[in-house]
Structure 1
Amino acid sequence: MQQPLAYRMRPTQIGEVVGQQHLVGPGKIIDRMVKAKLLSSMILYGPPGTGKTSIASAIAGSSKYAFRKLNAATDGKKELQIVAEEAKMSGTVVLLLDEIHRLDKVKQDFLLPLLENGSIILIGATTENPYISINPAIRSRTQIFEVYPLTPEDIQSAIQRALKDVKNGLGSYQVNLSDSALHFLSTATNGDLRSSLNALELAVKSTSPDNDEIINIDLQTVEECLQRKAINADRDGDAHYDVISALQKSIRGSDTDAALHYAARLIEAGDLISLMRRLLVIAYEDVGLANPNACEHTVAAVSAAKQLGLPEARIPLADAIIELCLSPKSNSGISAIDAATTALQSGNYGQIPAYLKDAHYKGAAKLGHGIDYKYPHDFPNDWVKQQYLPDKIKFDQYYQPKANGKYETALNNQYYKLRKAQGKPV
């Protein structure tokens, strides 16, 4: 029985790994380990299909060690003993232990001395945060590396390599993959290369060639093989940004149902990353100080979504979207920093007052730095009237507070109270 394309295309050398260049790129940590022949046990964590097994396979291939793969949930101590015997007889074995967060104490206790003496190089793979889900005894004996969803460019590169590879890939077939099909395969799986490659193989092997023996793969074919429709969010760059724009404007306009619609487009397109990033921007740009709790809740929702992955990630994100839509809105934060930046770029901003300059070095007093600075905590209510802006711009105002929501209403009152106390125009 032939293995799936994703399995056959698994790299055997570090240089063949797709993506994760922060770990396996030239001069990066795993590349250095392999070249120096100083391998240590590690835990790789990140979403499915992003290269955890590929990295382990490449490490073994690059170091010429035997490579074995077990699952912490389904394989028992007996299987671990077989690997341990192999390591004892033939030398070091690289063991990929999938779902390492499910490792029980019996198997853990068996593994620990083998990690200590180096007979097994353990590469644990997990989609769970190891700092939360993995026993400290294992963590203390491993290095922890995060892997990220592959970019569309990474996946396109892997697809094209598979189409050319005669030995392990689909190079013996004459395949004409349309641009729209290639784009969809590289964007619709949320960075999961395994899903993209296996869908490609199904498309090629289930499509009859034409009279010239060419297998034409179009968008509809890969949609069927991935069981996912190409939503306009990922057909081309303009449509992608149109959906993101519509999402933000819907939340800014407090239209909950419209916002959920555009979020659903991004989810159906498999573009979880863009959705999460945009929600963080919206939280602080459009809700901001009117409801800081909503900003915190959005950060928590995005964190949960990263750990869950699709399809469950849609749940915390939906909660965040609804709260952002129904929250009071304020753009005073972004407006304030943009106003300060614009003023700065004019070049008319003057010198920092001498008493505010750093005085933590010998000779600062001779320069007049820090002298006459009034330490607010030495005064009643921890406040004292003192000028902080340079003379040229001492009356500038960048923050224009709003009274949208209880929190910024309170900030509004305090801001103008302090400006008045400082002798600034209000």
Structure 2
Amino acid sequence: MKTRKRIFNTVFTAALLFLLPAAVKAQWSGSSSERINTLRMIADGDWERMPLLTLNSGETIEFSFDEMSHQYRRFTYHITHCNAAWVPSDLIESEYLDGFNDRPIDDWENSLNTTFAYTHYRLTLPNNEVKLKLSGNYRLSIREDGKEVAWFRFCVTEDMPNLAATVSGNTDIDTHKSHQQVDMAVSLNGLTVRDPEREIYTIVMQNRRFDNAVINPRYTYNNGNRLTFEHCRELIFPAGNEYRRFEIVNMHDYFRNVDRMSFYDPYFHAGLMKDTRHHAYNFDNDHNGRFLIRYNQAADSDTEADYLFVHFTLSLERLTGGRLYVSGDFNGGNLTSGHEMTYDEREKTYQATLLLKQGAYDYHYLWVPDGKTGGETRPIEGDWYETRNEYNILLYYRQRGSRYDRLVSTLNITTE
């Protein structure tokens, strides 16, 4: 019997580890249409907060995006409950929704006095037509004529006090050099756990990045009602560096990290200061990858902020054996071809041009080696233990016999 159980646990864990990395590649949000831009999730009015709600708390998330025309389009939304691997749960809608799916998005407004015409669409969840009944992961699909054009991922937690964690630059592989190590403890109080290897699993992210997330690390101690993760090499992260930043809150003034502003009829262009590789820790009051839409002379930046082409330039000898991306929350953390940099042999620079909405942005350069999907900070940004990172811990619980994964607890901690 023990042998059979051990085999089952091994198969279960292998299946989980197979599913999770495949599922998380897609990141927090994305679009299949070039007409859809600036996907945002603002949790309970806080633009810096993780897209996370507490179940039955009255909190809301505002989802928004721009469609690049003044033509009204009938977008609908569809909500799907997912397991910890972001795979749809084996539930029917009435088990996780109170209300109706596939409703139209009826909060929209055309842009005003902008060079790029766009329509701004907003949706708030929960709302008068639909409420969420269960904790866990959710996927919000935006559709036009039944075809998905954009999507968002968000979480609903039960906010149980089951997590504690610390972060240190004194790690099991180096001391105050280039890494940070997370130690954490999972309390099983309030949960009926007979087999933690099958019923409990965790995800640990750095600055909400899925590409380097640690999926279901193995605990080091189990004293019956507490799982302890100490000296766990899986929870050692390259420390990175503070995010780079730029601000374009007015088309006619120069703000942070902007080298030039130009107007080539009919659109604006911004050339950022030429970036270089970091050779030391670079202190800055960044926002760990976040971005804020803002036009400093607007009554409503959502509809009055304009779009412009932003030109990124990185002075560097050509790297081989991989691809270089500019990344941040503004692109959902997606390491895709639209954000890949190209190399100019004559200028000896990597370059990328992105269409962005006016505002303040954090970004960094990630190197993805051939054959891998996770981005590395070391080649461009460097890894420095002093970096102030945010670590996001998600604790899921599937009780024996249950058909879905509860998100029972979450914890965000920031290194100092």
With normalisation by structure 1, the TM-score equals: 0.27
Structure ranking higher in helix proportion:
1
RCO higher in 1 or 2 (8 Å CA, sep ≥ 6)? 2
Structure ranking higher in strand proportion:
2
With normalisation by structure 2, the TM-score equals: 0.27
